[in-house]
Amino acid sequence: MNQDSLDFLIPMFPFTHFSNFSLLIVNQTTPNQLLTSDYPLVRIINSFEKGLSKSRNTAIKNANKKIGLIADDDVIYEPDFDLKIIQAFNRIATPVITFNHQRIGLEYPQNLATNSYLHNYKSIWNVCSIEIAFKIADLKEKLLYFNEDFGLGSYFETAEEYLFLRNVLRLNVPAHFYPATIVSHPLLTSGDDQGSDKLVFARAALSYELRTILTYIWLPKYLCFLYRYKYITQKQWLHKFKVGISGIKKYKELKNNTFQQ
């Protein structure tokens, strides 16, 4: 967001210059702060919208290569990440492959699996967006995009990658995990503040998307979990319950507006 220089790309590729890769940057900004590129392989879209999922959908729609890899601007790629991705798609005939990433400061990768496997609705819970690669033509053909109501900068700031992969599986598009670490990411993420209002709000909405009316049973259990692990205090319980209910209400409101359109 709000970039006016390509310097942020330099630490992402410490082993070579970023201009050696085909990059499509969606820079969410204002008309007064535009990002430009002098490199043939580095394309820029200055967008005046907000929201992580909107940014990624813009990237998918404008991508023009065979394989796409989702990126954040605070990651560091492994020197041979591109070769690992190509090798995986050559070995596995599938439109979507998720890889592994390393949290900076830890000695082990995020996913401890050592063998490839076919994803299911349970396994996709553990996938981060920076691990997702796909055949671009397949996504466009199936109209597979991110839910723009979810993700940072939107109404519900969580779970956009889960809902994306859930939609992949619901359309019977095969998705595999491939045990190769391609990228590292800072240890702390936006999802670590488990008891915050914005996450309770968002996860209640996500639960209603998945469970509908059963969410009213799920929400107290979820708050008990947060209390048990000291993410919230006993005094905060009622407030968090009201936050969750408001998240459900907002989700239903957005759904109703969508149906009316």
Relative to beta strand 175-185, strand 76-77 is: antiparallel
pLDDT digit string, tens, across residues 205-244? 999 999 999 999 999 999 999 999 999 999 999 999 999 9
pLDDT digit string, tens, across residues 88-142? 999 999 999 999 999 988 989 999 999 999 999 999 999 999 999 999 999 999 9
Interatomic CA distance for residues 50 and 1, integer angstroms = 9
Name the CA dihedral angle for 226, 128, 216, 241, rounded to a multiple of 10 degrees: 40
User: pTM higher than 0.85, yes or no?
Assistant: yes
Interatomic CA distance for residues 129 and 243, integer angstroms = 26
* CB 163, CB 62: distance < 8 Å: no
Q: Is the pLDDT of residue 51 over 90?
A: yes
Residues of the chain with CATH 3.90.550.10: 6-185
* CB 160, CB 150: distance < 8 Å: yes
Cα→Cα distances 182→77, 101, 103, Å: 6, 6, 11
Q: What is the pLDDT of residue 30?
A: 95
Q: Over the chain, what is the mean pLDDT?
A: 95
Vertex 40 angle, CA 36 and 41, to 5°:
95
Of residues 201, 223, 204, 225, the one with CA closest to residue 215: 204
* CB 171, CB 213: distance < 8 Å: no
Of residues 51, 59, 49, 48, the one with CA closest to residue 22: 59
**Residue 242 in tokens:** 């009201």
Q: What is the mean pLDDT of residues 49-72?
A: 97
Q: What is the pLDDT of residue 190?
A: 47
Share of the chain above pLDDT 90, in %: 92
Q: What is the mean pLDDT of residues 174-195?
A: 84
Cα→Cα distances 109→185, 190, 227, Å: 11, 19, 29
User: Measured on CA atoms in the order 224, 227, 229, 232, is the torsion positive or negative?
Assistant: positive
Question: What is the CATH code of the structural domain delimited by 6-185?
Answer: 3.90.550.10
Interatomic CA distance for residues 5 and 27, integer angstroms = 11
Q: What is the pLDDT of residue 193?
A: 83
At 67, which helix (H) or strand (E)?
strand 67-69
pLDDT digit string, tens, across residues 153-168? 999 999 999 999 999 9
* CB 127, CB 62: distance < 8 Å: no
Interatomic CA distance for residues 14 and 78, integer angstroms = 9
Cα→Cα distances 243→166, 216, 222, 246, 249, Å: 25, 13, 13, 5, 10
Q: What is the pLDDT of residue 256?
A: 87
Interatomic CA distance for residues 120 and 239, integer angstroms = 35
Q: What is the mean pLDDT of residues 59-77?
A: 96
* CB 148, CB 54: distance < 8 Å: yes
Q: Which residue's entry shows tokens 């109209």?
A: 143
